[in-house]
Amino acid sequence: MIAAQTVPTPAGPLTLLAHGGALVGAGFTGDVEEIFTRLSPALRQEGLEVVDDLGAATLAVRAYLDGDLTALDAVPVSQPGTPTRKRLHAALREVKPGTTVSYAELAVRAGLPRTAARAAGSACAQNLIAPFVPCHRVVPSTGGYGGYLYGVAVKEWLLAHESGH
């Protein structure tokens, strides 16, 4: 069974989905189904149950919102992907709060050439567990915020929160 909880945040509702002791989905929406439908068909077959408290993941979100910017790092996550995508997602989790990297920099951090910036962008776009896998910390090298599945305003809020503004 996939357990789901929606937690209120200043950036909007954050829905968390957990299975087998790890987060398998998270995103800034109050629509649990929106996150659930992004999971693999095999995982969706497990079913979905909305719960009042996911425990450690919920506590981590609250600690993050209260200023412990590394609290999300301790929460186990699990998402599908090729070995390259998994390396990119792991590299994302190493980007420190309050900092940003370009897509090319993310590629290099994952052991890929700078020219793999497009693969880094794809890994961000396919990230199922925002902000625990912090794709919001990746910005275009040309400036600006770039895109974000949950809206640029959410990305701006997350980056401002992490930089203390």
Just list the catalytic residues: 135
Nearest to 125 by CA among 89, 93, 100: 89
Residue 38 φ/ψ region, left for φ over 0, alpha for ψ in the -120 to 50 degree band, beta for the rest: alpha
Query: Is residue 14 helix, strand or coil?
Result: strand
CA angle 133, 139, 145 (to 5 degrees): 110
Distance CA 148, CA 130 (A): 10
Token representation of residue 111? 């052991």
Q: β-strands 22-27, 14-19: how paired?
A: antiparallel
